[in-house]
């Protein structure tokens, strides 16, 4: 998955993605309406009242730039305050689209560490549908042997060598034979890299997923899937066209919260996306509270200057 999405020469995000939205392979709520940008602007204003010293705002993984555009638009007169806007983006294709849409008022970075260093560690951070693009490890439960086996490509089962202490899936042994689950060592490693550079601020995480094991209720094949021209692909079709289609998996928020806690960051709040958007979206743009509106979660983590 890491190579299919991020190989410098042949990866989907690095080379072949056309855009995010109706004319790409998948759309996100940022590309469908400006409501998410308005809701994030309201979140940012309320966080600024708690930590008014912060002057830097960082979006990670900004797609076609729609979200940063609607976020800035919704700031109104707050834009006159001396804020610096940053985007962390690893895809050169998407970065060019962002630069065209947003002009020269943004600072672009290849990684969050350098954005935080430029902000002297004090920043508000947000990201929408970033984590679901991180490479996942796929495992399958073998009930006879009472153990998880890792699924490799081409499909074959192998013993895994991952530490169960960090991944709730690997500590769970009550699934039916053949249940597939994913987990994300890549996200844990990423968090461990940049959190030492963050001194104060708040982070808003928006992504699809759920707590474990509820995430896998009625999903015996797990959540790994691919998208090509808005078609959802499952099974071995996920491995077709490597580098030419998006691959994604839901986020296990039990693990995500635990990894951040391990790094000294407690979760300050959690809502569904429907709840987060309700005060900011016109009724026609509200998400189905039983569908996408509840599949997506909005989590806030805060680091207060005096805490560390």
Ligand X SMILES: C[S@@+](CC[C@H](N)C(=O)[O-])C[C@H]1O[C@@H](n2cnc3c(N)ncnc32)[C@H](O)[C@@H]1O
Question: Using CB atoms, what's the residue nearest to ligand X?
Answer: 61
Q: Are 72 and 44 in contact (CB under 8 A)?
A: no
Whether the CB-CB separation of 72 and 79 falls below 8 Å is answered with yes
Helix axes 253-262, 185-194, angle to 10 degrees: 30
Residue 112 vs 265, nearer CB to ligand X? 112
Q: Pick the closer one to ligand X by CB: 129 or 182.
A: 129
Does residue 247 belong to the site contacting ligand X (CB under 6 A)?
A: no
From 40, 130, 249, 273, residue interacting with ligand X (rule: CB under 6 A): 130
Q: Does 94 bind ligand X (CB under 6 A)?
A: yes
Closest separation in Å from C-beta 260 to ligand X: 16
CB of 109 to ligand X, least distance (A): 9
Helix or strand holding residue 2 (H, E): helix 2-6
| 9-48: contacts with ligand X (CB under 6 A) | 13, 20, 28, 30-31
Least separation in angstroms between CB 95 and ligand X = 8
Q: Spell out, one character per residue from 157 to 196, where the chain touches ligand X: x when CB under 6 A holds, - when not.
A: ----------------------------------------
- Residues 174-208, buried b or exposed e (16+ Cβ, 10 A)? ebeeebbbbbbbbbbebbeebbebbbbbbbbbbbb
In the complex, least distance from residue 205 CB atom to ligand X, rounded to whole angstroms? 11
Residues 6+ apart with CB under 8 A from 90: 6, 13, 14, 61, 110, 111
Strand arrangement, sheet containing 147-152: 156-159, 147-152, 137-142, 180-183
**Is there a contact between 112 and 197 (Cβ–Cβ < 8 Å)?**
yes
What is the smallest separation between the CB atom of 32 and ligand X, expressed in angstroms? Answer: 9
Binding region for ligand X (CB under 6 A) out of 69-77, 82-90, 161-169, 259-267? 82-90
**Contact window for ligand X (CB under 6 A) among 55-63, 170-178, 235-243, 291-299:** 55-63
Nearest approach in angstroms of CB 58 to ligand X is 10
Of residues 60 and 257, the one with the C-beta less far from ligand X = 60
Is 224 a residue that touches ligand X (CB under 6 A)?
no
Among 34, 61, 243, 293, binds ligand X (CB under 6 A): 61
Rule CB under 6 A: say whether 62 interacts with ligand X: yes
Number of residues lying near ligand X (CB under 6 A): 19
Q: Which long-range contacts (CB under 8 A, 24 or more apart) does 1-10 make?
A: 1/135, 1/136, 1/247, 2/135, 2/186, 3/242, 4/242, 4/243, 4/247, 5/133, 5/135, 5/246, 5/247, 6/90, 6/135, 7/243, 10/242, 10/243
Query: Cα–Cα distance between 137 and 120 in angstroms, integer?
Result: 34
- Residues near ligand X (CB under 6 A): 13, 20, 28, 30-31, 60-63, 67, 88-91, 94, 128-130, 133
């Amino acid at each position: 998955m890491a190579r299919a999405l991020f190989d410098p020469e042949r990866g989907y995000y690095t080379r072949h993605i056309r855009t995010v939205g109706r004319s790409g392979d998948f759309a996100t709520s940022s590309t469908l309406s400006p409501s998410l940008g308005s809701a994030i602007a309201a979140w940012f204003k309320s966080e600024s009242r708690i930590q008014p010293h912060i002057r830097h705002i960082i979006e990670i993984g900004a797609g076609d730039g729609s979200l940063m555009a609607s976020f800035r638009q919704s700031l109104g007169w707050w834009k006159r305050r001396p804020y610096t806007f940053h985007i962390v983006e690893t895809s050169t294709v998407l970065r060019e689209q962002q630069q065209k849409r947003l002009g020269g008022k943004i600072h672009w970075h290849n990684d969050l560490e350098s954005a935080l260093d430029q902000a002297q560690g004090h920043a508000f951070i947000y990201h929408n549908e970033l984590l679901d693009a991180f490479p996942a490890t796929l495992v399958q439960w073998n009930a006879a042997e009472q153990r998880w086996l890792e699924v490799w490509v081409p499909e074959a089962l192998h013993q895994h060598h991952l530490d169960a202490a960090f991944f709730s899936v690997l500590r769970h042994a009550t699934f039916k034979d053949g249940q597939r689950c994913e987990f994300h060592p890549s996200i844990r490693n990423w968090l461990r890299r940049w959190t030492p550079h963050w001194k104060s601020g708040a982070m808003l995480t928006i992504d699809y997923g759920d707590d474990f094991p509820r995430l896998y209720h009625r999903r015996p094949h797990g959540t790994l899937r691919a998208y090509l021209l808005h078609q959802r692909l499952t099974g071995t079709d996920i491995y077709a066209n490597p580098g030419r289609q998006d691959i994604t998996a839901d986020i296990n928020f039990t693990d995500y919260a635990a990894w951040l806690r391990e790094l000294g960051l407690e979760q300050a709040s959690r809502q569904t996306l429907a709840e987060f958007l309700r005060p900011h979206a016109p009724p026609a743009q509200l998400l189905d509270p039983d569908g996408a509106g509840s599949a997506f979660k909005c989590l806030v983590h805060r680091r207060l200057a005096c805490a560390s």
